[in-house]
Structure 1
Amino acid sequence: MSYLTRRLVTFPLVMVGVSILVFVSIRMVPGDSITAMLGTEAGLLTPQQRQALAEYFGIDRGWLAQYWHWLTGVLQGDMGLSVTYGKPVLDVILERFPLTLQLALMSMVVALAVGLPAGVYAATRNERPSDLIVRIVAMIGQSTPSFVLGLLIIYVLSAGFGILPTMGEYVPIWVDPLANLGQLIFPSLTLGFAFAAAVTRISRSAMLDVLGDDYVRTARSKGVPARKVIWRHALPNALIPVVTLCGVEFGYLLGGAVLVEQIYALPGLGRMVLEAILQRDYAMVQGAVLFIAFNFMIVNLLVDLAYVALDPRIRMEER
């Protein structure tokens, strides 16, 4: 059985494990969804009204019965009804996912556009002052929490330039590209800065290893221009750890950058999950986490396939 086939076979098992874990975890949080939804007005409900609401949202039965009912619904494409939003969970997830996906892609573009050249530059100037400066900046980037950087950006823009990042109702890119860019550019820079710092450090380390290999020294001894040696011969072989990092980070970004979405008032997956947890919206939390876990596994699979494209010596059957 090939590596790809084994991975596809394990997908359902991982999904079931994730579903059980999140199902039990969310129900261990104190409180119930009806009280969280209605607040103080929940005390005005009669026992019959509370029972009717519990039956409507499917939380009147035991855990095992609830889980089985929910799982069979998921297999049919029905993740349940959201207490918070009053509509099907899958519909809400699909409404929020495009924003999170775009934010993750833009953050990755920022990270690679900044981090990869910086890492290569630092590696080619190893132990020089410029290398030290790049490493210090990268260390600061990785040490700075994203919410601190986000608040700092907002403060600098408002205090220094008298402007604020565009907030309010989210505008999809297909409706107004410029308005959409105005809403997502600063959140993307906030997430991309820490991501770029990690890419810088990983790419620098990988390039230092590759630049000492025999084929690089041979290419230099033959008079191949330094730029060609670095970008055509050395860099492709140094990309595998960078691809690994990008896959992991991108999976986390698809899970929703909760703090950044909260700071910039973006209605993405992360903010949605946070609101669902606070409201004890069992169906929404279960469906969202399952959706995020599935995306994470797909991203990791694509990363493994990228290994083969970058280095044909790697064969999936041998892994």
Structure 2
Amino acid sequence: MTYLLRRLAVFPLVLIGVSIVVFVAIRMVPGDAITAMLGTEAGLLTPAQREALSVYFGIDQPWFVQYGRWLAGLLHGNLGISSTYGKPVLEIILERFPLTLELALLSMLIALVVGVPAGVFAATHNEKFSGLGVRVAAMIGQSTPNFVLALLIIYTLSAGFGVLPAMGEFSPLWQDPLRNLGQLILPAITLGFAFAASVTRISRSAMLDVLSDDYVRTARSKGVSARGVIWRHALPNALIPVVTLSGIEFGYLLGGAVIVEQIYALPGLGRLVLDAILQRDYALVQGAVLFIAFNFMIVNLLVDLAYVALDPRIRLGEQ
């Protein structure tokens, strides 16, 4: 409990640090929100109209005043108003986040279902040709960029089968589950492929280390079956590095897979941040990045707590 309280106490400090970096960085990008929002029509504005828009969006003051106002609003749960959508930032983020969360969970499921058994197989067949084949496949998976795999999938479907991935308006899971799965399964496979390769290599390495430990040899000497030794004794301890990798990757996925969302035309969180940067939508960029950072910290905290569940010998600084 002491460890948990300490970690939670650090959250505000980290979020403030992230907010300052993002606040300054987005304002270093050339251009301004009004020009990005109106395009060529911005040149038709009179000085009075431009000044009125600057006041409305709160960009007429020095940056430290703008940051103070934004931070004061944040303490009251207000992330500001998006200059692109004309809606509260938090409302826009919560509209896009379910898609990103669902895509991250589906990608993670695919990666773990494929990667962990493949890693165990490669470790238990380490000196056989089949184990070498798994290692080569994992190396290929890690070396293939997501956007290349996505384009290959789309090309194969269109040229080989005459069909295209389900795109268009996104259908939430609770409205049309089948269409929702059809829209997300290919992006999830694209993201899960490289992650499954990483899980395979980590699982194999961890299993090789664990299988040489004394308690595994003791279990074998007591007559425990080979399957029991692997799945009941060795695998739980070998999963700790897999949990670490999964937590980091899941945090990145919750931030939005920008390229994959762009290729498959998914209105997720990553695509939202990219569009907000291009539109110089300061409030939306700040709010979305802060939301992503908060999710990342939550995931890391859950990973640390999962260590204890997997190995009770681990203590999280309670003393």
Using the size of structure 2 for normalisation, the TM-score is 0.99
CA positional deviation for 1:2: 2.6
Secondary structure of 1:93 counterpart: helix
Q: 1:47 Cα deviation (Å)?
A: 0.4
CA distance in 1, matches of 2:136, 2:51: 60
Q: CA deviation at 1:223?
A: 1.6
AA at the equivalent of 1:49? Q
Q: 1:72-113, CA deviations, whole angstroms, 9 ceiling, x for partnerless residues? A: 101111100101111110000000000000000000000001
Alpha-carbon distance in structure 2 between the residues aligned to 1:104 and 1:221: 42
- Corresponding residue for residue 143 of structure 2: 143
| SS of equivalent residue, structure 2 residue 116 | helix
Alignment coverage as a number of residue pairs: 319
Q: 2:313 aligns to what?
A: 313
Tell me the C-alpha RMSD between the 2 structures: 0.9
| CA–CA distance in structure 2, aligned partners of residues 227 and 127 of structure 1 | 18
SS of 1:87's equivalent in the other structure is coil
How far 1:316 moved relative to its partner? 1.4
Q: Which residue of 2 aligns with 1:231?
A: 231
CA distance in 2, matches of 1:317, 1:254: 28
- Alignment TM-score, normalising by the size of structure 1: 0.99
Give the C-alpha shift of residue 219 in structure 1. Answer: 1.2
Separation (CA, whole Å) in 2 of partners of 1:74 and 1:146: 35
User: Which residue matches 1:46?
Assistant: 46
Alignment of 1:81-96 (within 5 A): 81-96=81-96
- How much has 1:318 moved relative to structure 2? 5.2
Aligned counterparts of 2:216 and 2:315: Cα–Cα separation in 1: 24
1:190-243 deviation digits (Å, cap 9, x = unpaired): 000001000000000000000001111111122211111100110001010000
Amino acid of the structure 2 residue aligned with 1:282:
Y
What amino acid maps onto 1:100 in structure 2? Answer: T
Q: State the identity as a percent.
A: 79
Give the superposition deviation at 1:24: 0.3
Unpaired runs of at least 5, structure 2: none
1:141-166: CA deviations, max 9, x gaps? Answer: 11111011001100001101111100
Query: Counterpart in 1 of 2:110?
Result: 110
Return the letter of the residue paired with 1:311: D
- Partners of 2:74 and 2:267 lie apart in 1 by 24
Q: Aligned with 1:316: secondary structure?
A: coil
Is 1:252–2:252 an aligned residue pair?
yes
Q: Secondary structure at the match of 2:165?
A: coil
Cα distance between partner residues in 2 of 1:254 and 1:310: 24
Deviation beyond 6 Å, 4+ runs, structure 1: none
Shift of 1:263: 0.2
Q: Separation in 1 of the partners of 2:143 and 2:172? A: 32
> Structure 1 CA distance, aligned partners of 2:140 and 2:35?
44
Q: Which amino acid counterpart does residue 285 of structure 1 have in structure 2?
A: V
